[in-house]
Each structure stands twice: as C-alpha cells, then as structure tokens.
Amino acid sequence: MTANFLYQLDKQFPNSWVLTLCASKFELGTINQISDVLANIHPALRVLYQSTLVNELDWHANASLAQCEQVSAVTTLQWVVEGLGCEGLPPLLPQVKAAFAATNLNNIDVNAMPLATLLRPHKLALFDMDSTLIEQEVIVELAKKAGIGEQVDTITESAMRGEIDFVESFTRRVALLKGLSSEALEDIVNHHITFSVGAKRLVSALKANGYHVVLVSGGFNYFAEHVKNTLGIDEVYANDLDIIDGKVTGKVTSPIVDGQRKADILQSVASRLGIGLNQTVAVGDGANDLPMLGLADIGVAYRAKPIVRAQADYAVNVAGLDGVMAILGLTS
C-alpha cells in the first residue's frame, strides 16, 4: 500500500482501521476464521483493501548471516477495514484483542490501528534492551558468572511480572554481584549477547525513515553502549555498574532507570527534539516498560509478559522484532 493510496482511503473513509496480521503461514481455513471473527466484532465490517508481504529470507536457514541481521520468516497481511453504512466504527482495538484472545489463533500476531494513526508521521522510537533488542537479561548473565544465577532469576522474574518494585529488585540483584571481575563483562559482550531476530532490520528501517532511535534500559551502560554501536542507535540511557580495582562493588551509584524514568526520558527527548508525543513509538517486554508504552502514541509489547501484553495497545509475539515494522507500516 502506497502512502498516497492510504491518504485517499483515509479521506474517503475517515473512520477506517488497519488490521495487521503476521504468521509463519496462513492457510485458507485460517483466513476464513479471521473473517468470521471480524464479522462477529461488527456485522457491517468490510475490507477495503488487502496487501500481503512475505519475508523471503528464512533466518533459520542462513547460519552465515550475521546474527543481528536476521529477519523474521513470516507472512504479513494488512487489511484496511471500515463499517459499511455506519457513521463510524467503535474503537476496534479492545474488541479485536478480546475477540482473538477467545480463539485458538495463538500463532498469529493481530493488531488493529486507526488508519489516521498509521498515517501520522512518527519520528522518535524508544526501545528497552534486555529481552527486547537482545535476547538475554544481562543481569542474569552476570549472575551466572558470579554463581548466583538462581537467586537473581527469581528476583528478575518477579520484577518483570510486576510483583515487586523494580528499584528494590535492581538494588538487591546488583548487591549480589559484589566481587565479580570486570573481565566477566567483556566475556558476556563477546560470547553471550545475541540480538533479537529482526533487530538490525528494524533499526535500519527506522533510521531510513527519519526516526531518532533511543535505547532506554534498566540494565547497564557497558552493555547498552555495545548494542547502540552495533545497531546504529542514536543515544542510550542505562545504569552505571560501579567497578573499583576491576571488581564490581555491588553498589548503585546513579539514579536507577526504572519505569517512571523511562517515561520521563521519552518526554524529555521528545521535547528536546521538538517531537510531539503523538509522534512517538515505544517497544518493551517488562512491567517497567509500561509507563513509556502508555505514554507513547504507539506502544508495542514485544514477546512480553502477560501483564504487559494485557495493557499494551499493540503486541508482537509470533514475528521477530521486525514485526514492529508491520505495525508501523514500514517495508524498508
């Protein structure tokens, strides 16, 4: 779908929506089931336009490809829909989420966005790092090096589910790292950090389309700078890991980047760049990402915890991180 064509649709059908569906494969029966679900949401719903995108590169079969260059092997359908003979559709987002949650279509990413939102120029994107841009939780990798993996795993998972305060959990986990050699950090960067499938493709597409891209992490600057430099991200906000004489002290020495701090950074960077909040995107997976996901115009939960998926407007679970491109209407 070209931008001009979509603008014309929006002008003619001002209350239309874009449904984006991603799956590894669409069978005819699946398409029919999706159509039935949509018909049950609104009896007068009709499809104005459909486009299909197939990612031809199967990342599973390309071992020689740099890991951060991998691409999701998915098919994406985009449908522009509107209510035939209606003054306008009621907000589709909560209805679509509820309707598809009640089906067995668990292997499909389904997102509904007002066409006007898709057409609005977005210029700022913020990303969480751990389990979003990269596949690991870095503090868990550090804990493994320190021999306290199980203890930190328990605290981390509890925090990501929103059961305990992030600042408290962060302080407790860092304290457990006291005495860890700084050499362990270098080893993790060199041998234990893997980028999420589609990360490089997504960041490259955002940059090509004029986005300012920011990494904002409750993790550590040492690793965030590596991710920033590898992916070509513009700036980074993360926590300092205090090291004296080559050993981690276990102390927190700077303001912790928690959920509220992430939202504040989104607000601050947008203000500094003269970008409206209605032109911003945020992507994350944990409970401490919810404030920025809620503040951004487009908040995307990426392979997220249930509490995050339930509250985020948009979600990617089947596709890789480049599935965010489909939600934003980007092809390259």
Distance between CA 66 and CA 313 in Å, rounded?
Answer: 32
pLDDT at 48 over 80: yes
Report the DSSP pairing between strands 280-284 and 298-302.
parallel
* Active-site residue, selected from the candidate residues 10, 109, 130, 289: 130
Contact status, residue 180 vs residue 145, Cβ threshold 8 Å: yes
Return the domain boundaries, the chain.
Answer: 3-119, 124-137+193-247+254-328
Q: What is the pLDDT of residue 331?
A: 81
* Active-site residue, selected from the candidate residues 109, 128, 258, 285: 128
Least Cα distance to 303 among 139, 125, 162, 132 occurs for 132
Dihedral (Cα; 61, 65, 68, 72), 10-degree rounding = -30
Sign of the C-alpha dihedral computed for residues 81, 117, 285 and 291 taken in this order = negative
Q: What is the pLDDT of residue 180?
A: 95
Partnered with residue 110 across adjacent β-strands are 21
Assign domain 124-137+193-247+254-328 to a CATH class: alpha beta
- Domain boundaries 3-119, corresponding CATH code: 3.30.70.260
Percent of the chain with pLDDT over 90: 55
128: annotated active-site residue: yes
pLDDT digits (tens, 9 = 90+) for 173-213: 999 999 999 999 999 999 999 999 999 999 999 999 999 99
**Residue in the block written with tokens 């031809």:** 56
Mean pLDDT of 314-332: 92
289: annotated active-site residue: no
Partnered with residue 254 across adjacent β-strands are none
With H, G, I as helix, E, B as strand and everything else as coil, classify residue 283.
Answer: strand
